[in-house]
Amino acid sequence: MSRFWSQLELTLPVSFVDWVSAEVVEWGSPGVQILDDERSDTPPGSCTLIIFFDTDAVDDARGRLSAFLTSLGQQAEPFTLGTPEPASEVDWARQWQHHFPPLPLGERLLVLPPWERTYDSGDRTVILLQPGMAFGTGHHPTTAMIVERLQDLPDLDERGTVLDIGCGSGILSLAAVRLGAERAVGIDQDSEAVTSARENVALNELEDRIDISVARFPDRPETGPFRLVLANVYFTFFQQQIQALAEATASGGVLLASGLQETESDSILDLLRAHGFEAEVTDGAGGWVAVTALRS
């Protein structure tokens, strides 16, 4: 880093760390540092992020971040957003290693960073994941809830190719294949996310079973329809793409969806049911929900 970079200090609930990190990277941040914050004024269940931006863009970024956090309502409170300060040098590799411990997901999977390859995984199936700037390390509840539902599908190995919309780091595609899916097709409109996902696929030696592409849904490398669709996205995505999503899901197919706030539960269920899905909220954590929907 150089004198041309600035930083913002943000204290917020732990459950929002992954989500906010993904947002600010999309806005141009080169990365986020998570602090070991033991200060007495940090609320229980919260942590502090140092978010980096180009100095010329940091004021606009601060305003956008404040508006984003406010839009999340009470579930993102309390949060404290500081004013821009000059940024110091950061050893990103060390930061990632310190803040990315082994992560059990559900009853069957274990997410490990590459430097933990020798970790004793017991009877869990391992997913190797290189932390980076793409959303989806498994720590955010929206990711974890979809992975847990994947583990409950009794016929995953019979559903053919899985479509993963907004694949981020590729964690959901990796989880689906590790749990028995034949193949997965992941798409993301962010080219950096696709690069990250492809690296993670290669890290797990699954290039022959997982295809990751730059695409904005409903564009995708395979036409479908698919018997299993994964979508960890925003509610606005469903509002804008619900017809295309219904067409992409085969009759009798399952949609596992998250990225949805608890306050949006009724609206998303009404939307899905109006477009041929039998839908229900199947999980909730930290103000977020996951939905399981069966296409009629």
Dist. CA 162–CA 171, nearest whole Å: 13
Q: Taking residues 101-112, report their average pLDDT.
A: 90
List pLDDT tens digits, range 175-222. 999 999 999 999 998 887 898 899 999 999 999 999 999 999 999 999
Nearest residue to 240 (alpha-carbon basis) of 218, 266, 270: 218
| CB distance 251 to 216 below 8 Å | no
Render pLDDT for 115-134 as a digit per residue (tens, 0 to 9). 888 999 999 999 999 876 55
| Rounded CA separation 265/283 (Å) | 11
CB neighbour burial string for 28-49, b if at least 16 within 10 angstroms, e if fewer: ebbbbbbeeeeeeeeeeebbbb
**Whole-number pLDDT of residue 3:** 46
Residue 36 confidence (pLDDT) above 70: no
State how far the Cα of 47 lies from the Cα of 161, in Å rounded to an integer.
39
Strands (E), the chain: 5-13, 32-35, 46-54, 80-81, 85-86, 103-105, 109-112, 125-128, 161-165, 183-188, 210-214, 226-232, 249-261, 277-285, 288-295
Q: Domains in the chain and their CATH numbers?
A: 5-89 (3.30.70.120), 132-295 (3.40.50.150)
